[in-house]
Amino acid sequence: MPELPEVETVARLIAPDLLGRRVEGFEIPWARTVGERSPAQFARLLEGRRCVVVDRRAKYLLLGFAAGRESESSAWLVVHLRMTGRLVVEPRSGAASPHRRFSLLLSAGPRRPLAMPAPGPWRGVAAKRAPVASQPASAKVRLDFIDPRKFGRCLATEDPTEVLPALGPEPLGEDFKAESFFAALRARSRQLKPLLLDQSFVAGLGNIYVDESLYRARLHPEMPSDRVSRPKAFALFGAIRTVLTEAIEREGSSFDSFYRTPTGQPGSYQHQFQVYGRQDQPCRACGTTIRRTVVGQRGTHFCPRCQKPARG
DNA sequence: AGCTACTCCTGGTAGC
DNA sequence: TGCTACCAGGAGTAGC
């Protein structure tokens, strides 16, 4: 499922195919994908504008569009992939997926590629490989939002803050500090698993990376957050950042039919999973059988020996 | 504040 | 084989 590393990968890889292209139209095969917006509102907000920003905040992709020759975004397409959403850039006349829910029709690209704008302060990790355009700049293209389960959303807005919910700190950002993370854990008394999944507490983690982070920090998913010791809180802080960084370096996690990069490639972080999806298999550290339970309505994977429920 | 349940959806799979 | 039933999952919302 697309979490922070997958969305980050999509942003990086899709940027060279979007930057500098102009919106010439759109198609909305599944209306609920675009929320309340009518085609007329889309036209007013986006048509004729040029893509100048491709960024990410939490699990949201932010595509910024500028009017005329300006370089400041005055309209945004805010995309959430949820479970099964994908963004793909296709030749304009190429065949569309039966699960296509929304498309932007884009002009040919600029003669000289638009420089990637300075990444948002929440990026945190440098790209390992330089993203390359998949389509020639001379071709008109189509940005397809493909989403079999229809959970994803593409929202057009003049101001992203008006469609984004309250979001906690970016775990790879500069303002995410171990000391304040410890204080924040102390200030609540929720089970770690649902707390870390709460996007207003820390932004961008989902089911996979929460399980992997808790395992790495040797913390039980049901432990109340205010019982986590200072050293353990620091360990969890480091675990979250390490897991996310390594996942970005491997371009995210893919399994079953879930999640592909914009070029259709799977990520490879699934090969690094220590607990997620490894129920009934031995813990790589101690050999104990990994267990799967349900915590807060979410499938939860942990090692009962490494992750003791006692005070951490 | 924090919990539980429900909703949105469909592809995949387990069970018969 | 063909059918039904159920489930995963993020996030928003409602009710307690």
Q: What is the pLDDT of residues A90-144, one digit of tens each?
A: 999 888 888 999 999 999 998 887 777 666 656 666 566 677 888 999 999 999 9
CA angle A173, A233, A268 (to 5 degrees): 55
Q: Quick one: pLDDT at residue A35?
A: 84
User: What pTM does this model have?
Assistant: 0.93
Q: Is A197's pLDDT higher than 90?
A: yes
Strand C surroundings (CB within 7 A)? A 1, 3, 58-59, 80, 82-83, 149, 151, 165, 197, 199, 206-208, 294, 297-299
Give the residue nearest to nucleotide B8 (CA to C1').
Answer: A151
Grouping H, G, I as helix, E, B as strand and the rest as coil, residue A239 is helix
- Tell me what percent of the residues of chain A surpass a pLDDT of 90: 60
Q: Quick one: pLDDT at residue A288?
A: 94
Q: Quick one: pLDDT at residue A311?
A: 56
Q: Quick one: pLDDT at residue A120?
A: 65
Supply the DSSP symbol for A119.
P
For the annotated catalytic residues of A, the residue numbers are 2-3, 59, 298
Residue A233 CA, nucleotide B12 C1', distance (Å)? 38
- Tell me what percent of the residues of chain A surpass a pLDDT of 70: 93
Q: Is A256's pLDDT higher than 70?
A: no
Structure tokens at A243: 């897991």
Give the residue nearest to nucleotide C10 (CA to C1').
Answer: A82
How confident is the model over A184-202, as a mean pLDDT?
A: 93
Q: How far is CA A192 from CA A177, A182, A189, A195, A223, in A?
A: 18, 12, 9, 5, 6
